[in-house]
Amino acid sequence: MFKKTLKQMLAVAAALTLAGCAGQAGSGAAAPATQAASAAGETAAQGAATQGATTGAPSATTGAPAAEPEVIKIGFLTPLSGGNATYGIQCKEAGQMIADIINEAHPELAMLLAEQAGLPNLNGARIELVVADHKSDPTVATSEAKRLITEENVVAITGQYTSSITKAVAVVTENYEIPLLTAGSSPSLTAPETGLEWYFRFGPNDTYYIRDSFEFIKKLNEEKGAGFKTVAFVSEDTEFGANIALEEVRFAEEYGFEVVANITYSASATNVSAEVMKVKAANPDVIMMSSYAADAILYLKTFKEQNYVPKMLLGQRGGFVQTDFLDTMGLDTEYIFTTGGWSADIDNETSKQMIELYKEYTPDGAELSEGHCKDMINVLLIALAINQAGTTESKALQAALRNLDADTSRMPIPWDAITMDEYGQNTSANAFVLQRKDGVYQTVYPAEYAALESIIPMPAWSER
């Protein structure tokens, strides 16, 4: 019970401090809590003033603690209202979990920066997440990013983003020269022609995910005789879906698959019957979908209404990994594939511990998901960069993010390595393909991480 344990530890620490102060006063009985706290605060202030110290060392004359550690603010922009609010709130709690681990000593945890309280290279400095609601609106996100920088004085920004939100916020962070870390964004943001100097993506980008999707299908053909030859692409029309569709077409040609349908639809659609009929008429072996939660729900319901099941349905993360979709559609999500940057069955100590700890943070009983994990790890990465730089100065922090030296095996997502290119993309990040079975996504690719043998083709609705 991590939250409860953390509160209990703080309460014990406070009690011990008060008892120590009372003992120094030479009293046989403890002073009232309010008087002891006041006396301790005054003594600490006097000691810090005498020494001019912020080192955390006790005063030589009074034995009182020095000034409180520095507080470093990190902006966390996420949807707290609107259609993606549930997921945004869950990501916020995941980010707060990472900050809490860093701020208190947890030697029992394997995660980097957990062993001692705060950032060791900055005298135990603490991380404070300053949360803001971007409402899934690029205009709101822009104004909130400016506010976080100019009024809240955050040293970096992260959070839960769509590609369009990331693109809008990146304009602000470039202007103010503040690092921006996101997980969900189109490959164009780290393309040479974009020219962003303050944007960083440590996980795989859409190009990596789509490449691995086709590599996986190729393996199914070679090793399981799947016979997949045709593909259809179904993509929502914002930055997320549009960029994925372009990459899918490119890789389909490279891998020798015939594209029999390439459908774009409005992310706010309320009826997709016509689109589903087009897919059925094209009769592809594989459907690749780029959707958010609401539209993924709409499509799956329509597939079932029209009694249509493709041989293989592969989502490109987005709505397919969000709890809104998974909870709403329940067992109807069985056998769906999705790409991912993380899976709960990864054999990694930090990852396993985060899964258990998140149960104390989630506001609605949600399990830690791939999406939560990708967003929360950016809080850790920013903290690691600040600690490596030994300062919050922007240029030094930027340099640290470009040259981060960290043991990736002790991160919630154990990437192969961190090798940042000049455009802000980690070229060593590895992706996974997962399949939904028995109510959870399980790794099916690459083979060395597989927890499940791929089940193809998808069973008909009447056979489930």
Instruction: State mean pLDDT over 346-366.
Output: 92
Q: 71-204+349-410 and 207-340+432-463: same fold? A: yes
**In terms of Cα–Cα distance, which of 346, 343, 347, 348 is closest to 367?**
343
Using one digit for the tens of pLDDT, what is the confidence trace for 69-104?
999 999 999 999 998 899 899 999 999 999 999 999
Under 8 Å between Cβ of 419 and 271: no
Question: Would you say domain 71-204+349-410 falls under CATH 3.40.50.2300?
Answer: yes
**Does 9 have pLDDT greater than 70?**
no
* pLDDT at residue number 399: 98
Pairing of strands 199-200, 180-181: parallel
* pLDDT at residue number 3: 55
Query: Any idea what DSSP says for residue 425?
Result: B
146 or 366, greater pLDDT: 146
Tell me the pTM.
Answer: 0.73
For the chain, report the end-to-end CA distance as a whole number of angstroms.
37
d(CA 379, CA 130): 12
Using one digit for the tens of pLDDT, what is the confidence trace for 25-67?
333 333 333 333 333 333 333 333 333 333 334 434 455 566 7
Average per-residue pLDDT in the chain? Answer: 87
Q: Is there a cis peptide before residue 179, judged by omega within 30 degrees of 0?
A: no
Please report, for residues 30, 45, 55, 71, 157, the alpha-carbon distance to residue 37 in angstroms, rounded to integers and kept in the order given: 11, 12, 21, 21, 35
Domain boundaries, the chain: 71-204+349-410, 207-340+432-463
d(CA 124, CA 177): 25
* pLDDT at residue number 142: 98
Under 8 Å between Cβ of 148 and 132: yes
- The CATH class of 207-340+432-463 is alpha beta
**Does 392 have pLDDT greater than 50?**
yes
**Does 336 have pLDDT greater than 90?**
yes
**Does 11 have pLDDT greater than 50?**
no
**Does 383 have pLDDT greater than 60?**
yes
d(CA 333, CA 441): 10
Residue with tokens 């001692």: 116
Of 59-63, 243-247, 382-386, 439-443, highest mean pLDDT: 382-386
d(CA 146, CA 168): 11
Which positions ≥6 away from 239 have C-beta within 8 Å? 162, 163, 164, 167, 186
* pLDDT at residue number 370: 83
164 or 216, greater pLDDT: 216
